[in-house]
Structure formats: C-alpha cells, structure tokens
C-alpha cells in the first residue's frame, strides 16, 4: 500500500433559505432511518423546512490543489 499526501483547500458550504433568502438551514437534531440518512433542516429566520440526504449544513468540503 502506498500512502500519498496532497495539499488541499478547505471550503465551508452553507444552504441559504430559498423561501426568505435571509436565514440559513440548520439541522433539527433528528435523522430519518433511511440509507443514506435523511436530515431535516429548519431555517434560522423564517422556520421553513428542508430535508437533506446524507449530510448536514454547514458542511466542510476539500478540494485538491494541483501542483
């Protein structure tokens, strides 16, 4: 097995509310038993809800830097 290292950039992705455009979706602390898990989110401003499959917001994303 060969182990390699790469330099990466780290980004944070967030989901702005489609309804009010002012708040951000945050997980409610519940997960529906499916595969992958379904995470209900609620807007911090207006209370609108959205289900997200497989991850929660905000989430960290890495991008490999080409050298």
How does pLDDT run across 7-31, given as a tens digit for each residue?
999 999 999 999 999 999 999 999 9
Residue 2 lies in a domain: no
Q: How many whole angstroms separate alpha carbon 60 and alpha carbon 44? A: 19
Residue 35 lies in a domain: yes
Does this model's pTM top 0.85? My answer is no
Residue 1 lies in a domain: no
Task: Provide the residue range defining the domain that includes 50.
Answer: 8-64
Whether the bond into 48 is cis, omega within 30 of 0: no
Q: How many whole angstroms separate alpha carbon 55 and alpha carbon 61? A: 11
pLDDT at 66: 83
């Amino acid at each position: 097995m060969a182990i390699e290292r790469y330099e990466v950039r780290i980004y944070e992705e967030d989901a702005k509310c489609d309804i009010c455009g002012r708040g951000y979706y945050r997980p409610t602390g519940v997960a529906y038993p499916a595969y992958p898990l379904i995470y209900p989110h609620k807007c911090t401003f207006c209370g609108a809800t959205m289900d997200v499959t497989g991850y929660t917001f905000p989430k960290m994303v890495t991008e490999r830097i080409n050298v």
